[in-house]
A = this chain, B = another copy of it.
Amino acid sequence: MIEFYFDVISPYVWLTSHRLKKLQDKLNLEIQYTPVLFAGLLNAHGSLGPAEIPAKREYTVIDAMRWANFYGLKYEGPPQHPFNPLKALRSCLYFKENKQRAKWVELLLDACWSQGLDIRQDSTLLSLAKDFKINGDELLQAIASPEIKTQLKQNTIHAVERGVFGVPTFRVEDQIFWGHDRLDLLELYLQGKLNIDLNKCKEVLQRPRAADRRNHN
């Protein structure tokens, strides 16, 4: 079982979703789609998102467009960014069955990143629900339910506890793979072709720091 932590706010999550199905079929993987709030990860780790540093924001747009071009995907991007992804993330939790959830996540990501739809809006979610042949009113009710709101919070807390600091992140057997650009390493790991000495890793992390910036701001 592989856990896939995602937030629809990231173009790299969208790019990942397009590669994931192929990898899943190739290696016959069971992948748990777990929505988390990226902003919650940043808050917990005292980190900054790419959209919060102007030069990095600019780079992220062109980088995502380059990858889209590489994969043959149409990039449009959402009408606003960053945007509040809460409703969209909660909508994923309406689907209890994992394969159905995966399909909904794909639909949602394509709507946002490829078609340029505003997935914050009820009207967009209702229209996608219609395409997906589910009851849109039921979906909106579920999104507003305390159970689903709590579940998204819990997902984010659990992700932080497991060392997740960004999206997309994959977790398998206590190993974390961060970024759509680490899918090749994940594949090698799953095939037993990555040999990492975890004791060496621990030893390296215990070495002293010899320089720190005085002021981070």
Which residues of A approach B to under 8 Å, CB–CB?
39, 42-43, 45-48, 51-59, 61-63, 65-67, 69-70, 75, 77-84, 120, 163-166, 175-176, 178-179, 181-182, 185, 188-189, 194-197, 200-201, 204-205, 207-213, 216-217
Contact = CB atoms under 8 A, between A and B. Distances in A.
15 contacts: A39-B213, A42-B213, A46-B48, A46-B53, A52-B213, A53-B165, A61-B204, A62-B176, A66-B194, A70-B188, A78-B207, A80-B208, A80-B209, A80-B211, A83-B211
B195 A59 contact: no
A120 B210 CA distance: 10
A101 to B, nearest CB: 24
Given A81-B207, A82-B209, 15 more contacts: A39-B211, A45-B54, A46-B53, A47-B53, A59-B163, A59-B165, A59-B176, A63-B178, A70-B188, A75-B200, A80-B209, A80-B210, A80-B211, A84-B210, A179-B181
A163 B58 contact: yes
B165 A217 contact: no
A47 B48 contact: yes
Contact of A65 (B65, B182, B196, B217): B196
B65 A165 contact: no
A48 B52 CA distance: 11
Given A63-B182, A216-B52, A69 B194 contact: yes
Given A70-B188, A79-B207, A196-B62, A213 B43 contact: yes
